[in-house]
Chains A and B, each alone.
Chain A
Amino acid sequence: MTSAVSFQKVSRHFGSVRAVDAVDLDIEPGEFFAMLGPSGSGKTTCLRLIAGFEQPTAGSISIFGERAEGVPPYRRNVNTVFQDYALFPHLNVLDNVAYGLMVKGVGKPERQKAAEEALSLVRLPGYGARRPGQLSGGQRQRVALARALVNQPKVLLLDEPLGALDLKLRENMQDELKSLQKALGITFVFVTHDQGEALSMADRVAVFNDGKIMQIGTPEDIYQRPRTRFVADFVGSSNVLPPDFVQRYSGQHRWGSLRPESIRVGRGAKGDGVAARLVSTNYLGATTRLALDADGLRLHAIVPAGTAVPEEGEAVVLTFNREHLHLMDEPA
């Protein structure tokens, strides 16, 4: 089966900056794919390469089997939901949504009907006559989504689409985007720096750093079995354990990772636990996050609400299940 989007050794350099560096990538048709990484990691440049706003310095890109280098954005059946929505301020909502059909020469009654339907799809029926300036952030986000979807793109690109929304709205939109993607079956490629968002929405996640893909996998893969220190640290802020520490518990001299929720914090005899000192506690509602100092090694533990938490500065003993200790590929 042909991939929806395929990168072969794609690089994009800006002067001496390697924004994207020899990236290989295959996105399956109908997949909800997330590109996750810190700012400047090359994820947005990858999205712009798919949209056609950037051209690769080297390598080749194909979209549903067709070569895309040198093809301008307006000849790609790919649409983008921009980070700050990029709605046309001089057009009303209906004309914004109908824009793509208008430039393709679809007649007025027909394109307005399609635009109305797209607005209903994003639950904004009857908003057509308003100006983008009269809408809230969440509503603009939906208009931007409708404006892209009305063209029935082969691939929908979303550039940090939820970044500007407040927490409550963001959670609602996450659910909506996911069910919309399931219903429409369009390939979604989603760029975000928020690991929670990537894990909760995507079928597969690519973790970017320094213009390279560190790891591609299902959210569970990425979260439970990070391959490198960077992935372990960036996705869910795992405890990264140095080889010497790991050797004592697994017998292998390799970097390891341990989820903060896998650590149990207790008092009393040392046994086979790790002696540590509680540095600080952060109350987070459902959980409490503890910062610990185990003989110079900084560790974090997350305990459920209601657990008795020792005083700050107190000596504690840390225990964990050996099989939760994950060994990484990263060379020691």
Chain B
Amino acid sequence: MSLDAAMPRTTAPAILPGSGGLRGTLSDLFWRRPQLLLLLMLLPPVLWLGIVYIGSLFALLLQSFFSIDEFSGLINREFTLKTYGDLFQAANLDIILRTVTMAALVTVASAIIAFPIAYYAARYARGRWKALFYLGVMLPLWSSYLVKIYAWKLILAKEGILTWLLAKLHLLWLLDGWLSLPIVGGNSLSVSFTGTFIVFVYVWLPFMILPVQAALERVPGNLVEASSDLGASPGQTFRNVLFPLALPGIVAGSIFTFSLTLGDYIIPQIIGTSRLFIGQAVYSQQGTAGNIPLAAAFTVVPIVIMGFYLWGAKRMGAFDAL
């Protein structure tokens, strides 16, 4: 067969005519002026983010510089730092300290649990197993947050499945021993800080696994081989190669787990003690107590903490490998 028969020579012109009409004109216009297209695409989200999102945050921030009249309960719209001073009262400082400690512990625990799972998914899982991994990690995110928390309340309750299981395994003494400890203990897991911690870790874990997995996915396998080839034991390879290269992912994940724990007010309300977390304090101050300035000041706390956290992470070189 000749080439001509397979690919007949056409008589098409070198430059095709425009397709005409509004679409054709617009296409040509956008091709010639790509900035115009960019502007049109960005304008709605920038307006949304700028006015509705940042704007409302700014309005809230403004509220924190007002104060409340303790007798009338009315908001005094004059600039003052008195509300911020209130944050440093022992009771409020307790709330902040408790929340930050919980957020830090949840973040560290999530990172430790997430790393091996993410490592397996990034280095070994292929095809069907990888799909199963994503499904396993994401599935809990698809069901209602409240349903999951109430499910955990049942699991952790005194008459719950965990107590039953430990009793069957004759390990109840372990649970009782833990619950008799101060601070972390309580009547049952569902009314202790330990229970709050377990549920926090469960709920936020996917937000740690996915970025760590993405970071490890970008680490070429031969770097691990090169490290081993140069005489590094598996532990040294983890410390000197894998961990530094996964660090941006761990930091990204910890931004989620840390800030989500800082702001959450539902989990500690359903599972845990009666002592408040920042989210609950905000909720009760702006709701029942009607002290919007103090609620606003409380809201600023996580923002400031996250600011310092990111600054510290950057100084530690967490983003160097990006």
Contact = CB atoms under 8 A, between A and B. Distances in A.
Interface in B236-277: 236, 240-241, 244-245
B232 A90 contact: no
A30 interface: no
Nearest to A73: B228
A204 B10 CA distance: 57
Given A86-B220, A90-B245, A103-B236, A53 B225 contact: yes
B222 interface: yes
A89 B219 CA distance: 9
Interface stretch (A76-84, A187-195, A257-265, A314-322): A76-84
Interface string A64-75: 000000001110
B226 A86 contact: yes
A88 B226 contact: yes
Interface in A107-158: 147-148, 151
Contacts, number: 63
Contacts of B226: 80, 82, 86-88
A72 B228 contact: yes
Nearest to B221: A86
Contacts of B227: 88, 99, 103
A73 B230 CA distance: 8
Interface in A30-88: 51-53, 72-74, 78-80, 82, 84, 86-88
| Residue of A73, A102, A104 contacting most chain B CB atoms (<10 Å) | A73
A74 B233 contact: yes
B320 interface: yes
Contacts of B244: 90
B229 interface: yes
A74 B222 contact: no
Chain A interface: which size bin? Answer: 20 to 34
A100 interface: yes
Given A51-B229, A74-B231, A84 B222 contact: yes
Contacts of B245: 89-90
Contacts of B232: 74, 99, 103
Contact of B228 (A74, A104, A147): A74
B223 A86 contact: yes
A78 B232 CA distance: 13
B251 to A, nearest CB: 14
Interface string A209-250: 000000000000000000000000000000000000000000
A102 B232 CA distance: 9
B225 A86 contact: yes
B321 interface: yes
B225 A100 contact: no
Nearest to A103: B232
Nearest to B239: A103
Contacts of A102: 240
B225 to A, nearest CB: 6
Given A88-B241, A103-B240, A151 B230 contact: yes
A148 B229 CA distance: 9
A86 B219 CA distance: 10
A104 B241 contact: no
Given A89-B245, A90-B244, A100 B231 contact: yes
Contacts of A86: 220, 222-223, 225-226
B321 A90 contact: yes
A79 B230 CA distance: 6
A82 B221 CA distance: 12
Contacts of B229: 51-53, 73-74, 78-80
Q: Which 7 A-B pairs have the closest CB atoms?
A: A100-B230, A86-B226, A103-B232, A86-B222, A73-B228, A90-B321, A80-B229
Interface of A: 51-53, 72-74, 78-80, 82, 84, 86-90, 99-100, 102-104, 147-148, 151
Given A86-B225, A99-B227, 20 more contacts: A51-B229, A52-B228, A52-B229, A53-B225, A53-B229, A74-B232, A74-B233, A80-B229, A86-B220, A86-B226, A87-B226, A88-B226, A88-B241, A89-B245, A99-B240, A100-B231, A103-B227, A103-B231, A103-B232, A103-B233
12 contacts: A51-B229, A72-B228, A73-B225, A73-B228, A73-B229, A82-B226, A86-B223, A89-B321, A99-B227, A100-B230, A102-B240, A147-B230
